[in-house]
Each structure stands twice: as C-alpha cells, then as structure tokens.
Chain A
Amino acid sequence: MELRADCLCKTYDGQTVLKDISFSVQNGETLAIVGRSGCGKTTLLRILAGLLAPDRGMVWLDGQPAGLPGKERLMVFQSFDQLFPWLTLRGNIRYALQKTRPTLGAKGIHRLTERCLAQMELGDAGGKYPYQLSGGMKQRGALARAMAISPKVLLLDEPFSSLDALTRENVLQAFQTLKQATDAAVVLVTHDLEEAVSNASQIALLHPAAGGTLTLFDNRGVDRVSQLKRLLAD
C-alpha cells in the first residue's frame, strides 16, 4: 500500500498555499508534516483525503488515482467534537461500520465495536454520549472509530494538540495501538516537533515563505528537533 502525492498545488485568493508538493508514504510508515500555524498543513491533509481538489497534481493510492473521499483514507480531526453528539460512543463506531463495512453484519459490527473500544481502553465508556466524555476520551473514541474502519491511509490533523500532557501521552499510546492494528500509511500533521520526531519515520517541513514548498527529511539518527527548530525560525 502506498500513498503518493504528486506535484500538488493549491492557491487561495491568488496566494499560493501549496506548491509542487510530492512525497510518498508506505503502509506502516508515518510521515509527519510540520510547519507554522496557517501554513497549509490542513489544506494538504484535506487534499490527501479527497475532501478538497488540488488546482494541479494528483493523489495516488497504490498506483491508482485516489479520486473521491472514502473509507480507505480516513481523516481524524483536531476537534474534540468529531463524534456525532446524538449517538453514544458505541453508536458512533457502529454507525461508521454500518456505512463503511456493511458486509460485517450486525454481529460482526458488534464484535468489532467492542474489540476496538476495549483496545482503546474505552470499554466502560461505550454507552456514554460525547458530552459525558473528557477531551482525551473523545480523541481516543475517534481513534477507536478509525481502528474499526481500518483504513489504508490514516490522516491525522493535530489530534494530540489541545490535550494536557498526561492525556496526550494516553492518546499517543492509543495512536500507537491504532497504527499497529491497521498497518496503515499515516500522515500526521502537527506543530509539535518532539511529537513529529518521536512518531514519524519521515518528516516534511512545509514552508509558507517559500510559496508552500515541502522539504522532506528522513527521521533517523540525527537531532532533527534542533534542525527543524532552526529551519522553522528562518
């Protein structure tokens, strides 16, 4: 499984946000996209998810044009409120499964829902509505839903920001569980360099000053945090 971005370009109101962005991510790998706020990270992620059309360039999935959004490329959002508030946590996961994996049948959906809830340590919270959950539990709930859908590509839009340090650690653990369970190609957008370095095999720095270009780094054996900090400061 390979996700490939090929010369993606996007312009808003005459201002170039993304310029010739190219990279590829294999299954099991994580690419972290870092950059300052408003540099186009979320725009890039939405293009990868198929939710936004690029002005130029293509997104490829296993050598095929990725096309419309679908369960193969699942996006996990930054907001705590990405679970539907009128459904319980269990209901949210079941609903997603009914829509994306209907062939599982009622029993299969039930079993998978319970398994994902248990793996995210949310077994006791399944019957609760989102308003009854803490921010960290909601994010883990969103990750449990992603785990149940089992996408080929996981697109994470700063899912750990706005969490306190302890909860973040908890959710990061849940993220590792999700990665292992799905073996998906992961694109993680973050503004936290430490988080990028400790979770990704590749790091991409998005430069708004250079007209939305991307610099790729292999994240092995070098002090990338200091290097990235210097580059971001420039």
Chain B
Amino acid sequence: MKQSRIIDAFYHKRWVSRLFFFGLLLALWESLAVFGGISPLLLPRVGSVLTAFVKGFQNGTLLSQTVFSLGIILLGLAISAVLALLLSVAAQLSLFCDRAVDALTVLSHPLPGIALLPLIVIWFGTGAPAVLAVIVHACLWSLLMNLQSGMRDAPPMYTDLGRIFSMSKLRIVLEILLPAAFSQSLAGMRIGWGRAWRALISAEMVFGAIGANGGLGWYLFKQRAMMNTAGLFAGIVLITAIGMVVEGLLFDKLEKATLRKWNAQGLKEAQ
C-alpha cells in the first residue's frame, strides 16, 4: 500500500521524481569522486562543495555576489519591460511604428547577446551599463514579441467593445489590449528571464569585477582562476538553484494564478 503510494507520487508529482533523480545524481557524483580515481581538482566530493557553499555564505562573498547579480538582472528586466511596453503601445497606435518595431525585432531577436559583447565593450566599457545592455538585449525582444502577439490575439470584440464604450485608441490599448495580453507577456517575461540570467552570468565572466562586486559570473571566474573547483561547483549550484526558484516557484505560481482567469485552456496546457 505504502509502496504503491510512493510510486504514485513519483509519477504524478514532479517534485518527487525530480528529488529522486537529484539524489541519484548526487550519489553518482560522490561515487565517482570517491571510487573513480578522479582528482579532487577536477571533481571534488559533494561534502567539499557543500563546505565551500556554506563558507561562501558565511564570509559574505556568495551573498553579496548573489545580491549584485539579482539587483542588476531585476534592473535589466525592468528596463526591458518598460521598453517593450512603450514599443508595443506605439506599434498598436500607428501602423508605421508597428512596421518599424517589426523590422527591429526581426533583426535583433536572432542575434545572440554574446555576439554583441565586443561592440558593447567599445560602446559602454566593461562596467554595469555594459552588463545591463547585454541583459536588456537578451530579454527585450522575446518580451516584446510576446506582448505584441498577445495584443494581436486578443479577441476583436474586445476592441469593438472599447469602441462602443467610446474609448480612445490609447485607452483601448492600455485598458483592454494590455490586460488581454497579460498571460502572453508573462510567458515572454519567463523566456526573457531565462535568457537574461544566462546572458548575465556570461557577461559577468567576460566583463569581470565592477567595483567591489562582479556578480556570480565573476565569482565562478575567480574560483576557476584559483583552481577552487569546490567553490566553482558551489557557484554553479547556486546559479542553478536561483534559476529553478524563479522559474519553478515565481513564474509557475504567477502563471497558474493568472492563466486561470485569462483562459482555462491555457491553464490546462500549462499544467
């Protein structure tokens, strides 16, 4: 009975199966580190990584780098959100702007942020503005595309109702089309977040320390330079954990809460 309940939970609750495979991975890792004859410089034991992780937080390094990285990514996301909002509203109000935004998106969206790094260094140097530029590029286009597609996909009768209510075009966009596009823009924000998080870590590694901090990417870079593999793994684990928490908890919960209102079909698909 108990056994069948565990099997049921394994197949029906994702967190149970994930936990199981994480545990399996850790066991495999530890076995390789202990019995595999691999140098600890290449593959440290799980305990060493845990110690490096705790030490990193105790001496404040990991915490300050995390706060720095999260602060800069939040600023980047906020800038992207404002830009995406302004551009999509403009695109809704004028066909000329719509075509201009379309051309800009088609050009910029496929361009990997890493390809822009040399240019960004020339334009912005290697400080915070450069990292911000990378984040904004990574996140803006997916957010903009989703926002626009959400507005385009809004049922035409919403706009009809706005016109019947004698609302101006701007009010229809702000009060009707924007809320109608909310679930899609949330999906865009989710994609944007993932891209921006990866871009941020890469940019921090390339640009190095900005003042006293350099973020988690710079932390990884330093650990590699010092051949502190356990510290390197601690940083990787933290980056993964932050990504999982934001994706799995924040966005999942937000999506379920809002998709439920916006459309029940979307909720089913999300589940």
Q: Shortest distance in angstroms between B87's beta carbon and chain A's nearest beta carbon?
A: 22
- Interface status of B176 (Cβ within 8 A of chain A): yes
Whether the Cβ atoms of A75 and B262 lie closer than 8 Å is no
A118 to B139, CA, bound (A): 47
When each residue 252-271 of chain B gets 1 if its CB lies under 8 Å from chain A and 0 otherwise, what string results?
Answer: 00000000111110000000
Interface residues of A in 125-146 (CB under 8 A from B): 129, 131
Of all chain B residues, the one with the shortest Cβ separation from A86 is: B179
From A71, A86, A129, B164 is in contact (CB under 8 Å) with: A71
A79 to B161, CA, bound (A): 13
When each residue 79-98 of chain A gets 1 if its CB lies under 8 Å from chain B and 0 otherwise, what string results?
Answer: 10110111000000000100
Whether the Cβ atoms of B158 and A69 lie closer than 8 Å is no
Whether the Cβ atoms of B164 and A69 lie closer than 8 Å is yes
A96 to B163, CA, bound (A): 11
Whether the Cβ atoms of B263 and A75 lie closer than 8 Å is no
Whether the Cβ atoms of A77 and B167 lie closer than 8 Å is no
- Interface status of A170 (Cβ within 8 A of chain B): no
Q: Shortest distance in angstroms between B205's beta carbon and chain A's nearest beta carbon?
A: 41
Would A86 and B161 be within 8 Å (CB), given that A70-B166, A71-B166, A81-B155 are in contact? no
**What range describes how many residues of B lie at the interface?**
10 to 19
| A85 contacts across to B, CB distance below 8 A | 180, 261-263
Whether the Cβ atoms of A73 and B263 lie closer than 8 Å is no
- Interface status of A49 (Cβ within 8 A of chain B): yes
- Interface status of B165 (Cβ within 8 A of chain A): yes
Whether the Cβ atoms of A131 and B164 lie closer than 8 Å is no
Q: Shortest distance in angstroms between B78's beta carbon and chain A's nearest beta carbon?
A: 22
A46 to B163, CA, bound (A): 12
- How many contacting A-B pairs (Cβ < 8 A)? 55
From B166, B167, B182, A86 is in contact (CB under 8 Å) with: B182
Q: Shortest distance in angstroms between B28's beta carbon and chain A's nearest beta carbon?
A: 45
Q: Shortest distance in angstroms between B175's beta carbon and chain A's nearest beta carbon?
A: 8
Whether the Cβ atoms of A96 and B165 lie closer than 8 Å is yes
Interface residues of B in 157-174 (CB under 8 A from A): 157-158, 160-161, 163-167
Whether the Cβ atoms of B160 and A99 lie closer than 8 Å is no
Number of interface residues of A (CB under 8 A): 23
Of all chain A residues, the one with the shortest Cβ separation from B267 is: A131
Would A71 and B165 be within 8 Å (CB), given that A84-B179, A85-B262, A131-B261 are in contact? yes
Whether the Cβ atoms of B261 and A86 lie closer than 8 Å is yes
Of all chain A residues, the one with the shortest Cβ separation from B263 is: A85
| A71 contacts across to B, CB distance below 8 A | 164-166
- Interface status of A104 (Cβ within 8 A of chain B): no
Would A51 and B155 be within 8 Å (CB), given that A86-B261, A129-B261, A131-B261 are in contact? no
Whether the Cβ atoms of B157 and A131 lie closer than 8 Å is no
Of all chain A residues, the one with the shortest Cβ separation from B171 is: A99
Whether the Cβ atoms of B261 and A99 lie closer than 8 Å is no
| A26 contacts across to B, CB distance below 8 A | none
| A51 contacts across to B, CB distance below 8 A | 160, 163-164
- Interface status of A116 (Cβ within 8 A of chain B): no
Of all chain A residues, the one with the shortest Cβ separation from B260 is: A131
Whether the Cβ atoms of B157 and A82 lie closer than 8 Å is yes
When each residue 58-78 of chain A gets 1 if its CB lies under 8 Å from chain B and 0 otherwise, what string results?
Answer: 000000000011110111010
Whether the Cβ atoms of B160 and A84 lie closer than 8 Å is no
- Interface status of A43 (Cβ within 8 A of chain B): no
When each residue 92-127 of chain A gets 1 if its CB lies under 8 Å from chain B and 0 otherwise, what string results?
Answer: 000010011000000000000000000000000000
From B158, B164, B179, A73 is in contact (CB under 8 Å) with: B164
| B161 contacts across to A, CB distance below 8 A | 82, 96
Closest 5 CB pairs of A and B: A99-B165, A69-B163, A86-B179, A77-B157, A131-B264
Subset of 11 A-B contacts with CB under 8 Å: A50-B163, A68-B166, A69-B164, A70-B164, A71-B166, A75-B160, A75-B164, A77-B157, A79-B157, A86-B179, A86-B180
Q: Given known contacts A99-B167, A131-B264, what 13 new A-B pairs fall within 8 Å (CB)?
A: A68-B163, A68-B166, A69-B166, A71-B165, A75-B160, A84-B176, A84-B180, A85-B180, A85-B261, A85-B262, A85-B263, A86-B182, A86-B261
